[in-house]
Structure 1
Amino acid sequence: MSRFVTLLLALLLAGCAATAPAPEPRELSLAATPDDVLQETVDLLMEEGYVIRHADVELGRVEAALARWPGYRVRAEVTPEGEAARISLTATRGGRPLSPYLLDRLLAALQTRLGLAP
């Protein structure tokens, strides 16, 4: 009986140790330089109430957390793509990935800021 309880406890704890799936990115190619895209992304996130936690221009990465409820975390990665740039956004809340469509509003606002809105 005690072996059964031990096995059951081990299985329950192993289930708790599983890692959350990686968030699915929302990506967009923009006809702007990577530096401009990264700077406008930082400015946009700050205007939207995010606190920039980490930013690295050389790596093209920004991590920000929403300063009010519900406390989303957003990660942006900007990579050069020829003469243009590609931005990839992911979001999490409480360590769990959020649906990528939630980032569409930020991407649309970024396009507008860069003068690239359709």
Structure 2
Amino acid sequence: MKRSILILLLAGWLAGCATPAPPQPHELQLAASPGETLRKAMHLLMERGYVIRHADGELGRLDAVLARMPGYAVSLRVTGQGDDSRVAFIATRGGRALPPTVLDPLLTDLQSRLGLLP
């Protein structure tokens, strides 16, 4: 009896150690070329204090970290053709996904820089 209770407690404790689900990207469809979108996003992030750790125009990928506290990391993927692009942002802190509201100012500023807002 004591042994089965101990096993149940141990199983419950270990269940709490499960890895979290990977963060879901915050996606946005834009009427701008993928190259221009990636370039403007890179400049935007640098102006806001992010350090670009990796950027690849052919892959449409950009990874950046905030150079000051609280230490956010942003991962950006751009896909599309011609004058249409799809942007997927993921923001993390300490390996944990941040809520989409953290990304809203970045996405709004990106749209403004691309001339897509009134």
Which of the five TM-score ranges fits, normalised by the shorter chain? 0.7 to 0.9
Percent identity of paired positions between Structure 1 and Structure 2:
56
Q: Could you tell me how far 1:25 is from its partner in structure 2?
A: 1.7
SS in 1 for 2:103: helix
Give CA deviations for 1:1-48 in whole Å, capped at 9, x if unaligned: 7897688557645643x2222222211111111000000011100000
Q: How many residues align?
A: 117
Q: Could you tell me how far 1:83 is from its partner in structure 2?
A: 3.1
Q: Retained in 2: the 8 A contact 1:30–1:86?
A: yes
Q: Retained in 2: the 8 A contact 1:26–1:101?
A: no
Aligned Cα RMSD in Å? 1.9
Q: Retained in 2: the 8 A contact 1:63–1:74?
A: yes
Q: TM-score of the superposition, structure 2-length normalised?
A: 0.85
Q: Say whether residues 1:112 and 2:112 are aligned partners.
A: yes
Q: Say whether residues 1:27 and 2:48 are aligned partners.
A: no
SS in 2 for 1:115: coil
Q: Retained in 1: the 8 A contact 2:62–2:76?
A: yes
Give CA deviations for 1:53-103 in whole Å, capped at 9, x if unaligned: 111111101111001111101111001056310111011101111001210
Which structure 2 segments of 5+ residues have no match?
none
Runs of 4+ aligned residues of structure 1 deviating over 4 Å after TM superposition are 1-11
Q: Say whether residues 1:74 and 2:74 are aligned partners.
A: yes
The more displaced of 80-89 and 70-79 is 80-89
The more displaced of 69-78 and 82-91 is 82-91
SS in 2 for 1:74: strand
